[in-house]
Structures are given as C-alpha cells and as structure tokens.
Amino acid sequence: MTEPLWSPSEAGIRASTMMAFMDQVNQAHGLSLSDYDSLYQWSIDQPAAFWSAVWDFCGLIGEKGAVVVDDVSRMPGARWFPEGSINMARNLLRPDWDRDADALVFWGETHVRRRLTFGELWDQVSRVQQALIARGVAKGDRVAGYIPNMPETVITMLACAGIGAIWSSASPDFGVQGVVDRFGQIEPKVLVAAEGYFYNGKAHDCLEKTAAIVERMPSVETVVIIPYTRADADLSGVRGAVAWDDLIAPYTAGDIRFDPLPFDHPLYIMYSSGTTGVPKCIVHGHGGTLIQQVKEHVLHCDIKPGDRVFYFTTCGWMMWNWLMAGLAARATLLLYDGSPGYPSGAILFDYADAEGMTHFGTSAKWIDAIRKADLKPRETHSLATVRVMTSTGSPLVPESFDYVYRDIKSDIQLSSISGGTDILSCFMLGSPITPVHRGEIQKRGLGMKTEVYDESGHPVSGAKGELVCTQAFPSTPIGFWNDPDDAKFRAAYFERFPGIWTHGDWVELTDTGGLVVYGRSDATLNPGGVRIGTAEIYRQVELLDEVVEALVIGQEWDNDVRVVLFVRLRDGLTLDEPLAKRIKGQIRQNCTPRHVPAKVVQVADIPRTKSNKIVELAVREVVHGRPVKNIEALANPEALDEFRDRAELTED
C-alpha cells in the first residue's frame, strides 16, 4: 500500500456531511458505524434502509410511500419507492431559499458574464413554463435543447421537469446528422437552440444548422431561439422560430407547477456515444436520478449550502445533468461554455479565483493537457476556496495525481470518479473521510454493490476484470426509448452475466478499497489471448515529452492480434526509429513485453467524441477496412482518414 497523497484532517472528517450522515444512521438504527468501509457494507447489506436514510438526510421533497424497493434482487426490474411520488424540479428550486443568493453564474469564454439569483431563476422558470404550457407541452412530451451550457438551458430543463415533460440536450458543435440521429428518435415537440456559440474566441453561427435540423424533424412545432453571440439574428429561415424574449413576454413571473410524479417517471433522455451505430436513447427517471446524484453531491463530494460548484462540460455530456443536482444541495452552479484554453489555459483557474469556486470538476484529458503544457496554477493563482477537484471521462493516470498535488494545490481532495451516461451517476467516487492514493479512485459508491468479475464470473480483488454491479440501484435506467420489450436494454447490460449489470469497464479493486480503471473492456487488447487495458499503455507513452497524445488498438494479424500504437507528437517533430525505439522501451520497461506495440505510427490528430473521449473502436474499424457506422458522433471525423490504408499496417 502506497503512502496517501492526501488525508483528511480530523476536523475535516468531523465537519463532513458523510460523518453527519453516519451519525444519523447510527442513531436511527442503533449501529456503531465508524468509517467509510463499515458504512459502505451497511449500505449494500441494507439497501432499503440506506436509500430511505439518503432521502431523509438530503431533505428530499416528495412522498416516499411505504415501500422503498419491491425486490432488490431483481435486475433489471426492481421498482424503487413504487408507492411514492417526487419531482426533480421541486427539489432543485425551492421557494423558501434565499432569493438574493447566487443560483447560477455563467462565463461564456471572455465574451459574456452573467449571474442569476435563486429569485431570478425562479421567475425565469415560471415564465418559461407558462409559455411551454401555452404551446401545448404536457407530461411525457419531449423538449430538446441544441444549446450551449448557459442559464437558459437550466431554466428550460427545470420548466419541463416541473410538468413532467422530458428534457434532452446536445451541444451546438454537433452537426445536423448527429442531432437528427439523436432527437429524431424521440420526436420533440419543442426545440430550444442558441443562434450561435463562442469557441476559441470566435462566434459560430447555428441558425443554418438549426433550420436544416427542423426540416428533418416534423414533430417540432416550436423552435425557441436564444440570443447569445448577437441580439438581432434573422430567424425567418427557421420554421416555427420564436425569439426567447418574445416567447416569455406575455407571461408574468408567479408560481411554478411541480406536479407529483411517479418515482420512475421519465426526466432525461441521454444517448450512447453512437460511434458503432445510431445512438441508443437511454431514459432516466426523476426519482432515481435525483436520489443518486444528491447522494453523490452531498455525501461523496461534501457539497454544502453556499458552496460554489463547477464542472467543465457541454450539454452533450452527462456531467451537465450531474451538475444540475448541485442545486438540490443549495449550492451555486458555476457554468462555463467555450474553450478551456482561450485565451489561455489559465481561464478556468481565473474563474475559480474570481467566483470562490469550492468544487472544481473537469476531465482527466484536460488535467493531462495542462500537465503537458507545464502550467503551474499553484504559482499563479490562489485557489484558496477550492476544496475538491473531481475528474472523469477517462482514467486519471498516476502522474496526473502527482501533478495536481505538486502544481495545482497540495491540500485538496482529488476525487477521480467513474460511472457513465448509462446510469447518469457513478459506481466509483471520492470520499471526504478517507485518503487519496496515487492513481486510484477512492471508493466504491455507497449503495452500489460494485464488484470486479473474472472471465468466469467470480469476484476478484487485486486482479483486473469486468466492473459489475450485482444488486439493483435506483438510477438504473428506465430503459431505452422505443424498445418496448426491453430486448436492446437487456442485451446492452445484462447479457454477459444474467441478472447482473456489466458496465464495460476493465478495472481492479486494490488493497486500499480503491479502484483503478484500465479502460473500456470492449477496447482491451488481446495479444496471445492476454487482455491488456489501453490506459496502461497510454500512461507510459504520454510520459514522454515528445508525445502529446496516443491511441492504441489491436489489429487482427496472422491469426492473432498485434498491438498498434498511434501517436500525436509535439509540433515540428517526426517519428523516427530512435523515437519509436524509446517509446517501445518505455512501455517494455514499465509494463510487460506483451504491452509493447508491434507498430508505432505517427498521426496528426486523434479522433474523439464530442465529450472528448478518444474512439479506439472507430479507429479499429477503419484499420480493418470496415465502415464506421456513425461518424456524426465524432468531434473531428476527418481525423479518421489518417488511419485508413496505412502502408505500415500491411507488413510485418
């Protein structure tokens, strides 16, 4: 066991919401739980008591009913709070909160600065909700947002949730086909879009794309256009368009409807990455989303009233939906839209200091990028208010843990978290009452009976295997849209091990009780029949100063699989034999001979999804001459061209 990089102080442990929750559980149930591991064990041994306690401790508003879960052993199919009712919006926006406190702060790169108090947010939600109802939006109708991460996005979502309409969103950098592939399946009645967005200091027009999208989606009756990059955009080319201000002008702020809804009433429709076909539409419910995310915010992230919570995300990534639940903890949400590198890599740290950020959320790739750029925020910024830094999207390598504590802030809980769009929450999270160990996610999430299975379906510790969840949990999706017999849903998560959620991550449970993620299990390499996680190779390669980024696949070769590594080098560098030898040597020395790539190939760019995840599977298809079924899911589909018909991959 390595020495921890950070340990909570005794005072910090005593002041944490986690300990307050544990005290409440002990008192209510006559227990003597004293640390995270004992609390975790109780949470999975007594799931009904645990989730009921989360509801009470987090002060959720709704009716629990007499039953917490009808059959926790049934997965899928367990029903949570089946006699109860709840509404997500009612729990995120309450009339008794301080109307003058900040609810939302928004930075649109360097171009826009805005803030809304809880009172102003209430009034805007009231007016928008009235306008949507007047245009025929009702329970079960879909409202879609083709929209930046801005206050109007939050406002519209809350207005929809209050009346039981279903919200779904995509970021404005998506192309027409990518949007239609998603929203076209769910047939929204209303589309909300910005007339443009800012990225890297430039304004990008969205009206032409919006017009094309609407023409291909006959279900859309109203298109609400938000002014962002300009105030006087010509909307005449968009069928059914109405300006945001004109939409709400007839309505005076007043009450908000918060309809009591069944616990599993649809709240959000999310989408799989779509790189291997048309995206799957994943339906998430009010109650499961709320109770799971509030548990993660309040207990695992230690968010308290008045905290100021940030996550760098777009509205096409699940972390936007996850961030929204911070309002239920009476925290201020800090929104940012645009490039995290404009006008410099320091912009998000500028934001942290300017707004008293307490929770700084970002992606592992961004941390790795600023490490490569040799940024030292500890020397240039105060960051005095930042208590927690969360990271997700891909595995956070041990060297990035070192970087955070050395060059960002030494006294901080670095909380690597991992879950996914599939559950709109996490299986693995941080804990404010336990140490942070280098390269590890701190703990399995409370109430999540998460295990690691070997190939035979046996639980293992200290060895790599499949991440599974062996007991029902509230944020299990309701199902897939237009999948009436749940055939696609069951095939996606329950086919490998019947009755057990198989998540698709290749992980290891460590002797600290933490976890290490080695990559997606469907992207693991299999040379000579030995499974290798891609993150193991990325970690070593990207330690080399010459390498900016890498992507590795298994190429079918000579009745086996060989490892092929693609590298993006620093500007001006060319891959030569000495550098290729250094790369292979780095991998051999720090991994095993099986990890060493048979081929190292230079490329100018690495293809990635809109949420900045590299796409090994799409590259693997291209290398093997097979079609990529949905390149619209990619942020830079042109990058795939470099991987096609490479001469280096036709020879030994």
Q: What is the rounded CA–CA span in Å between residue 434 and residue 451?
A: 20
Reported for 342-349, long-range contacts at CB under 8 A and 24+ positions apart, including other chains, are 342/109, 342/110, 342/199, 342/200, 342/201, 343/110, 343/201, 345/369, 345/370, 345/373, 345/375, 346/375, 346/377, 346/380, 346/381, 347/109, 347/110, 348/310, 348/312, 349/377, 349/380, 349/381, 349/383
Token representation of residue 189 = 């009645």
Of the pLDDT bands very low, low, confident and very high (cuts 50, 70, 90), residue 533 is confident
Residue 73 neighbours by CB under 8 Å, 6+ apart: 471, 472
| Per-residue pLDDT, 479 | 97
Q: What is the rounded CA–CA span in Å between residue 106 and residue 83?
A: 39
pLDDT tens, residue by residue, 566-580: 999 999 999 999 999
Among candidates 503, 476, 443, which has minimal Cα distance to 51?
476
Reported for 635-641, long-range contacts at CB under 8 A and 24+ positions apart, including other chains, are 635/173, 635/608, 635/609, 635/610, 636/605, 636/607, 636/608, 637/607, 638/605, 639/603, 639/604, 639/605, 639/606, 639/607, 639/608, 640/607
Q: What is the pLDDT averaged over residues 85-103?
A: 96
For residue 467, the surrounding DSSP H or E stretch is strand 464-469
| Per-residue pLDDT, 596 | 92
Residue 529 pLDDT exceeds 90: no
Task: Kindly list the structural domains of the chain, giving each domain's residue range(s) and its CATH number in brackets, ordered by start.
Answer: 117-261 (3.40.50.980), 523-649 (3.30.300.30)
Dihedral pair phi/psi, residue 6, rounded to 5°: -150, 140
Question: Greater confidence, 393 or 355?
Answer: 355
| Whole-prediction pTM | 0.90
Residue 248 pLDDT exceeds 90: yes
Match 């794309």 to its residue by tokens.
Answer: 209
Match 């279900």 to its residue by tokens.
Answer: 219
Mean pLDDT value across the chain: 95
Among candidates 531, 596, 538, which has minimal Cα distance to 563?
596
CB atoms within 10 A of CB 199: 17
Classify residue 103 by its DSSP letter: E
Token representation of residue 363 = 């992606």
Of the pLDDT bands very low, low, confident and very high (cuts 50, 70, 90), residue 274 is low
CB atoms within 10 A of CB 66: 8
Q: What is the pLDDT averaged over residues 324-352?
A: 97
Q: What is the pLDDT averaged over residues 367-374?
A: 92
Q: What is the rounded CA–CA span in Å between residue 330 and residue 308?
A: 9
Task: Return the exposure string of 107-122: e unless at least 16 CB atoms fall within 10 Å of the residue's CB, then b.
Answer: bbbeeeeebbbbbbbb
**Whole-angstrom distance between the N-terminal and C-terminal Cα of the chain?**
42
Residue 149 pLDDT exceeds 90: yes
Q: What is the pLDDT averaged over residues 600-624?
A: 90
Among candidates 82, 56, 58, which has minimal Cα distance to 69?
82
| Per-residue pLDDT, 161 | 98
| Per-residue pLDDT, 586 | 93
| Per-residue pLDDT, 261 | 98
622, 642 contact by CB (below 8 A): no
158, 165 contact by CB (below 8 A): no
Token representation of residue 207 = 């009206």
Q: Determine what percent of the chain is predicted with pLDDT higher than 90.
A: 86
pLDDT tens, residue by residue, 105-121: 999 999 999 999 999 99
564, 630 contact by CB (below 8 A): no
Residue 629 pLDDT exceeds 90: no
Tell me the torsion sign for CA atoms 158, 129, 285, 83: positive
CA atoms within 13 A of residue 408's CA, in its CB half-sphere: 27
Residue 276 pLDDT exceeds 70: no
CB atoms within 10 A of CB 134: 11
Residue 504 pLDDT exceeds 70: yes
CA 126 to chain CA mean position, Å: 28
Classify residue 185 by its DSSP letter: H
Match 């701190």 to its residue by tokens.
Answer: 442
CA 130 to chain CA mean position, Å: 31
| Per-residue pLDDT, 162 | 98
Q: Determine what percent of the chain is predicted with pLDDT higher than 70.
A: 99
Residues across the chain: 652
Match 């290490």 to its residue by tokens.
Answer: 516
H helix intervals, 394-548:
398-403, 487-493, 534-541
Of the pLDDT bands very low, low, confident and very high (cuts 50, 70, 90), residue 275 is low
Of the pLDDT bands very low, low, confident and very high (cuts 50, 70, 90), residue 539 is confident
| Per-residue pLDDT, 357 | 98
pLDDT tens, residue by residue, 394-410: 889 999 999 999 999 99
Of the pLDDT bands very low, low, confident and very high (cuts 50, 70, 90), residue 561 is confident
pLDDT tens, residue by residue, 25-59: 999 999 999 999 999 999 999 999 999 999 999 99
CB atoms within 10 A of CB 179: 25
Task: Return the exposure string of 609-637: e unless at least 16 CB atoms fall within 10 Å of the residue's CB, then b.
Answer: bbbbbbbbbbbbbbbeeeebebbbbbbeb
Token representation of residue 646 = 């490479």
| Per-residue pLDDT, 474 | 98
Q: What is the rounded CA–CA span in Å between residue 536 and residue 582?
A: 17
| Per-residue pLDDT, 611 | 76
| Per-residue pLDDT, 635 | 87
pLDDT tens, residue by residue, 195-244: 999 999 999 999 999 999 999 999 999 999 999 999 999 999 999 999 99
| Per-residue pLDDT, 489 | 96
For residue 365, the surrounding DSSP H or E stretch is helix 364-372
Q: What is the pLDDT averaged over residues 280-290?
A: 97
For residue 23, the surrounding DSSP H or E stretch is helix 17-29
Q: What is the pLDDT averaged over residues 604-616?
A: 88
| Per-residue pLDDT, 318 | 95
